[in-house]
Amino acid sequence: MSGSLCREAMIEGVSVPVGTPEADVLQRALQKLKKSGLPHKGVTLRLYKKSVDARKREEIRLVYSVLATLPEGKTFSEDQLTRAGFKPHSPTALTLTHGTAVLPARPLVVGMGPAGLFCAYILAKEGYAPILIDRGDSVADRVKSVETFYTEGRLDTESNIQFGAGGAGTFSDGKLLTRINDARCAFALETLRDMGAPADITLQAKPHVGTDVLRTVVQTMLDTVASLGGEVIYRCRLDGFDRHPDGSFTAKTSKGDIPCGVIVLAPGHSARDTYRMLLEKNVMLEPKPISVGVRIEHLRSDMDAMLYGSMAGHPDLGAAEYHLSDTKGERGVYTFCMCPGGEVVAAASEEDTVVVNGMSHRARNGMNSNAAIAVSVRTTDYEPVEGSLVLGAIAYQRRIERAAFVAGGGDYSAPVQTVGDFLEGDRAIHEPTRVKPSYMGGDRYRLAPVSKTLPEYVCQSLRYGLRSFDRKVRGYAMPEAVLSAAETRTSAPVRILRGSDFCAVGNPGIYPCGEGAGYAGGITSAAVDGIKVAEAILSVYAPL
């Protein structure tokens, strides 16, 4: 391919001081292009990616990638680009092929998280008229359910922070960072942008939408699915299915039977009753490793100063982000789902349990910044339930969540402990001072040792991790920081096995999909898996 031609080239590594105007960034990129000797007459330049290089706090820089596009009729040679240190670039597009098999009925997509939503969107665009269901509510009604839980302590087990339109990501920071390398990522980001997400999500190296904006994006996407011939049904839980001789199915739901040609299973990582139903239907599942831990909160101003020094607060930098990890101890420990300027949210989906997660608005201007600190859990840590290690994995999570409920006083308050007390080994319990817990608006917490919620080996790894992270970011383990338990829903505890055709092993026509099926982790990777499953269905069946 070295002799191929292209009109677009990526100029990477344009490093500038914080505060440099966009015009100056583009001018620097143009100078790099001119010095290379490559064609540049009439070229148009635009910012493509932006990241923060904060390795030296005294000299924080912004690093850009710039896309150079030649006028129509002019091209770069790819081998010349390579020699000059640039990359060829091609516009984002999906390659979709349609099969010829006849769908005996409309496809059913179970779950309105990113995986199910993107799968249904592609199917609807291509003329397959999918039925999209979720056990939870629409975005607006879901927000009301969460508010009722916060104000009255009444948990709706069908519509909450885990279940409903948009999935768990709707009540999150809306982070779109992913470590998978797939061209579909760009398509997913561009689609979200077209549905109303901020334009800069395709520019930022660590893009985020924010829960307030993401809710509108989700509703727009659902409305688009419906406008393209799809059908959206809320408060509709999948309880079972029957397979018929012609290959079609009848889905048994809480709103009655639904005939369907294929079933896409994108239930999210908290659909524990769905996992049990699949086991009873002899669908193959396996337990998988997870991580559990706590949410840590610092003052946002403290975290900004730790990471950005004198540049903290600069509008080009925003609220400071971090990702920390250490794999040298007995177990891996790492930070996850960091929410700058955010809050800790009540993410329980079962009665008499406490689960914490993190959420930020678009502005990321809350008083605190929080992140999960999670410790690796192995499948050997599970104990079989009813002879099943899959059920044992679920029971492991549930046991911790119920312990957190008890430690929090039994009214859905979260057990909270300062970092100083936790590192001292629970010898004392002090009320938080400078850093106030934000869980449920800051009113619903109870002082309790983390050790009353989590296994001792997890606590040991958390202490190890906190000290390790403090060596990397001085002040991270400050005594005033607070820990809230328990963070248990970092990923699905099981995987629904599927083959190269994306169908569940031994179950043609059933397509496990996304994070809840064990094939993604986060909004973007789940969206990409949803796209892949849609492509697999398209490749077999003709449009309706």
Q: Which residue has the tokens 């201007």?
A: 365
Give the pairing of strands 231-233 and 131-133: parallel
pLDDT in tens, 447-486: 999 999 999 999 999 999 999 999 999 999 999 999 999 9
Residue 484, classed as helix, strand or coil, is strand
Per cent of the chain over pLDDT 70 is 99
Domain-located, residue 69: yes
pLDDT class for 3, splitting at 50, 70, 90? low
Provide the H-helix boundaries in 294-342: 300-308
In the predicted structure, residue 221 carries a pLDDT above the cut 90: yes
Per cent of the chain over pLDDT 90 is 90
Both 149 and 114 in one domain: the answer is yes
Both 478 and 513 in one domain: the answer is no
Domain-located, residue 258: yes
Both 281 and 295 in one domain: the answer is no
pLDDT class for 178, splitting at 50, 70, 90? confident
Both 401 and 511 in one domain: the answer is no
The predicted pLDDT at position 180 comes to 75
Domain-located, residue 94: no
pLDDT in tens, 286-333: 999 999 999 999 999 999 999 999 999 999 999 999 999 999 999 999
In the predicted structure, residue 543 carries a pLDDT above the cut 80: yes
Both 131 and 268 in one domain: the answer is yes
Q: What is the CATH number of the domain that holds 77?
A: 3.30.70.2700
Both 477 and 535 in one domain: the answer is no
- Residue 139: give the domain boundaries: 108-286+495-540
CB-CB contact of 146 with 160 (8 Å): yes
Domain-located, residue 146: yes
Whole-angstrom Cα Rg for the chain: 24
Both 378 and 462 in one domain: the answer is yes
Measured CA to CA, the distance from residue 47 to residue 93 in angstroms comes to: 20
Both 453 and 530 in one domain: the answer is no
DSSP E strand boundaries for 386-469: 414-418, 445-447
Measured CA to CA, the distance from residue 415 to residue 387 in angstroms comes to: 32
pLDDT class for 222, splitting at 50, 70, 90? very high
pLDDT in tens, 62-114: 999 999 999 999 999 888 899 889 988 877 778 899 999 999 999 999 999 99
Closest CA to 382 of 501, 485, 287: 287
Q: What's the whole-number mean pLDDT along residues 493-512?
A: 98
In the predicted structure, residue 431 carries a pLDDT above the cut 90: yes
Both 258 and 310 in one domain: the answer is no
- Where does a domain end: 89, 121, 145? 89
Q: What's the whole-number mean pLDDT along residues 251-277?
A: 97
The predicted pLDDT at position 2 comes to 47
Domain-located, residue 101: no
Both 161 and 251 in one domain: the answer is yes
The number of folded domains in the chain is 3
Q: Which residue has the tokens 């949410």?
A: 295
Closest CA to 509 of 274, 242, 257: 242
pLDDT class for 188, splitting at 50, 70, 90? very high
In the predicted structure, residue 195 carries a pLDDT above the cut 50: yes
Q: Which residue has the tokens 């957190």?
A: 404
Both 443 and 472 in one domain: the answer is yes
- Where does a domain end: 54, 89, 124? 89
Q: Mean of the per-residue pLDDT values for the chain?
A: 95
Domain-located, residue 98: no
In the predicted structure, residue 227 carries a pLDDT above the cut 60: yes
Neighbour-count burial for 61-99, b at 16+ CB within 10 Å, e otherwise: ebebbbbbbbeeeeebbbebbeebebebbeeeeeeeeee
Domain-located, residue 100: no
Domain-located, residue 472: yes
Q: What is the CATH number of the domain that holds 126?
A: 3.50.50.60
Q: What type of residue is 441?
A: G
Both 438 and 504 in one domain: the answer is no
